[in-house]
A and B are shown apart, each in its own frame.
Chain A
Amino acid sequence: MSSEDFTLQALGLYKAFGSHQVLRGVEFSLRPGEIMGIIGENGAGKTTLLRVLSGELRADSGSVVHRGRLGYCPQRIVVNNELTVEQHLRYFQSAYQLATLTRAHELVERLDLTRYLNRKAGLLSGGTKQKLNLVLALMHDPGVVLMDEPYQGFDWDNYLAFWAITRELCDRGQSVLVISHIAHDIKRFDRLHRLRDGQVHAEKATARHTAGRKVAP
């Protein structure tokens, strides 16, 4: 892999909250068409890392380089309880400068959100809100997607729909970084890393990786 062959690269990220050092030189690269997982125990700094990667939080030092537009699905569901699902889509259509909502409505349909289009977000269940949270991160077809516990609250069908959408993104050359506190279903990842002691360490090769996918270690 050439040094240019990445869609997102973290270089020496440090972040502390007061005297508590959370990130201690995080370094990794995300490559085109790759699903990468970062796991870690509660309090390991996973959400902090993702907030830094997304630009929501400033790192004390280090940098993040990425290509293409970012899609960010935060762990905490960030929607407006007073607006309907449809209004969310239209508001983010403005933000992302999208000519149409075709992709958004496709995602809405696949995640079984269609019947809630005219319902206020504040009246949705936790799992349904999370679907909206996810649609807002993906509706502009981003080149790099950062997701923090993206399938929390999903039932089995939606869990499968989530992975099908994620796999399609990667097949089109888009990259996905999933952060989670547990490493179940690791065969779905191309690479798996663990956030420990403020740094990212490579885990053993995943099933997808050993199956001979083009992704380099």
Chain B
Amino acid sequence: MRPATAVLADLRAARRSLDGRTTWWAKLLKAIGFEVTQHARNHLALGLVVCFIPVWLGVVHTVIPNNTVEFHSRVLGHAMRVDANELAMISAVINAVTLIIGFMQFASVRRSSDFDQRLVLAGHPRLSMLAAKFVALVLVSMPTAVYAAVVMDLFWEPRQPALVGFSLFTSALTYGGLGMVLGLALSSELAGMFVIIMVSLIDVMVQNPIINPSADLGPVRLLPTYGSMQAAAVAGFTDDGAIGHALLGLLWLLLFGLVSVTVFHWRTKDHAGHITSPATQTASVVVTSRADGTLSIESTAGPILLCSQLPGCPASCDRTVPQQRVRKARAVRMTAPGAS
């Protein structure tokens, strides 16, 4: 097995090889690196992941009694009688993971909002920047979900820990998507934090069978973590599959992604709608002398004016030349002669 230093050296070499490359993919890879770096430097969020999840699960494990409660499972089609303490831990770990990832993504997008606009105006492709944010979200959510699932295993043993972890992962992606939309749409950091917390409160409380005995009613299914909670509960107490419900979180991510693309495009638009001076095209004109004495003339830049009597050319002889159209375009992309 290769030592970590060698792997790091390879990664640095790969990173350096991207510098100077201007393809869309190179830009995407660099942007992903910068997005992950931003997440990694959010020490508060990382501290919450490391400390808050075990503390929160420990509190729930200690405080919630081991009574039996009924949980309405859409996956199984009937109510399950389960340990309230263990069910509360599933609910608590989803709550913790979603809040932290939502907060991380919101903070990252919100804080780099003006910077991202500057990058786009400088020429960075929007789609690559947004794609980088989503990839970074996936890369951050994955270890967080795995860590949370492992910590929960310290308190009790779910029947399908992998599916529990996957449910945590999709719920994290859902709230990451929400954080992204809020980071783009809200101007205040405090407002975004409150919205995430309030959405999470409603989401978790309405699905809690102790608080809401009718937790299987229609509107509950529209909650962001409904699918993840259903899948995690089935994975925790049975051997049945529930991957379809876990994937419901990805539908939410898709929805939030579409909203993000729209808002990001609007926010980073070149609003000025500059009119660019007509650019001077480089024309290639090929004149071929044929065997019969005639000339064949080909132009790569549209119609050309051919005059065989230039000194005596009447002033009006160029009136058939089509006028150049001034087109609307992004001025920053154009370079006219004389300007560097």
User: A: which residues have CB within 8 A of B?
Assistant: 4, 7, 32, 52-59, 63-70, 72, 74, 76, 78-83, 87, 90-101, 120, 136, 140-144, 172-174
Say yes or no: is B340 at the interface (Cβ < 8 Å to chain A).
yes
A-B contact pairs, 26 of them (CB 8 A): A53-B272, A54-B272, A55-B272, A55-B274, A56-B272, A63-B274, A64-B274, A64-B275, A67-B334, A74-B118, A80-B112, A82-B38, A82-B112, A90-B30, A91-B119, A94-B22, A94-B30, A95-B120, A96-B122, A97-B22, A97-B123, A99-B20, A140-B122, A144-B339, A173-B340, A174-B339
Name the residue on A nearest B271 (C-beta). A58
B20–A100 touching, CB < 8 Å: yes
Nearest-CB distance from A20 to chain B (Å)? Answer: 18
* In the A-B complex, the 8 residue pairs with the closest CB atoms: A68-B339, A58-B271, A95-B124, A143-B339, A67-B336, A95-B122, A55-B272, A55-B270
B84-122 CB contact bits vs A (8 Å, 1 = yes)?
000000000000000000000000000110110111111
The reply to whether A7 and B22 form a contact with Cβ atoms under 8 Å apart is no
Given A80-B115, A94-B22, 10 more contacts at CB 8 Å? A7-B339, A59-B272, A65-B274, A65-B275, A78-B117, A81-B111, A93-B19, A95-B120, A120-B41, A143-B335
B218 near A: Cβ within 8 Å? no
Let me know if A92 and B119 touch, CB within 8 A.
yes
Shortest A91–chain B CB gap in Å is 6
State how many angstroms separate the Cβ of A5 from the closest Cβ of chain B. 9
Say yes or no for B34: interface residue by CB 8 A criterion: yes
With the chains together, A142 CA to B273 CA distance in Å? 19
Q: Tell me which residues across on chain A come within 8 A of B111, comparing CB atoms.
A: 80-82
A66 → B minimal CB distance (Å): 5
The CA of A58 and the CA of B277, in the complex, are separated in Å by: 19
B276 lies within 8 A of chain A by Cβ: yes
Q: Contact check, B277 vs A67: say whether CB atoms are below 8 A apart.
A: yes
B340 touches A64 (CB 8 A): no
The minimal Cβ–Cβ distance linking A157 to chain B, given in whole angstroms, is: 27
> Do most interface residues of chain A lie in helix, strand or loop, or is the interface mixed?
loop
Taking the closest CB of chain A, its distance from the CB of B50, in whole angstroms, is 19
Report yes or no: A91 in contact with B30, Cβ–Cβ below 8 A. yes
What are the residues of chain B within 8 A of A100 when measuring CB–CB? 20
For B19, B274, B335, which residue has the most chain A Cβ atoms within 10 angstroms?
A: B274
Given A67-B338, A95-B122, A56 and B271 touching (CB < 8 A)?
yes
Q: Residue of B at shortest CB range from A84? A: B37
A81 to B331, CA, bound (A): 29
Interface residues of B in 1-48 (CB under 8 A from A): 19-20, 22, 26-27, 30-31, 34, 37-38, 41-42
Chain A residues with Cβ under 8 A from B335's Cβ?
67-69, 143
Closest to B115 in A: A80
Q: Is residue B332 within 8 Å, beta carbon to beta carbon, of the partner chain?
A: yes
B256-280 at interface with A (beta carbon < 8 Å):
270-277
Q: Which of B19, B37, B115 contacts A78 (CB under 8 A)?
A: B115
B44 to chain A, nearest CB (A): 12
Chain B residues, Cβ within 8 Å of A32: 338-339
Residues of B contacting A7 in the complex (Cβ-Cβ under 8 angstroms): 339
User: Is A72 touching B271 in the complex (CB atoms < 8 A)?
Assistant: no
For residue A47, give the distance in angstroms from its CB to the closest CB of chain B.
14
- Name the residue on B nearest A72 (C-beta): B121
Known: A57-B271, A58-B273, A100-B20. A136 touches B118 (CB 8 A): yes
In the bound complex, CA of A67 to CA of B336 (Å): 6
- Determine the distance from Cα of A90 to Cα of B21 in the docked complex, in whole angstroms: 11
Asked if A78 contacts B114 (CB within 8 A), the reply is yes
Residues on B with beta carbons closer than 8 Å to the beta carbon of A174: 339-340
Q: Is the CB of B340 within 8 A of A68?
A: yes
Interface centre among A4, A53, A91, A93 (most CB of B within 10 A): A91
A56 touches B41 (CB 8 A): no
Cα(A63)–Cα(B30), bound, Å: 35
Also in contact, A92 and B331, with CB within 8 A (given A32-B338, A64-B275, A120-B41): no
The answer for the CA separation of A32 and B34 in the assembled complex, in Å, is 37
- Greatest chain A CB density within 10 A among B22, B111, B272 is at B272
Q: How far is the CA of A167 from the CA of B114 in the complex (A)?
A: 29
How far is B37's CA from A27's CA once the two chains are assembled, in angstroms? 44
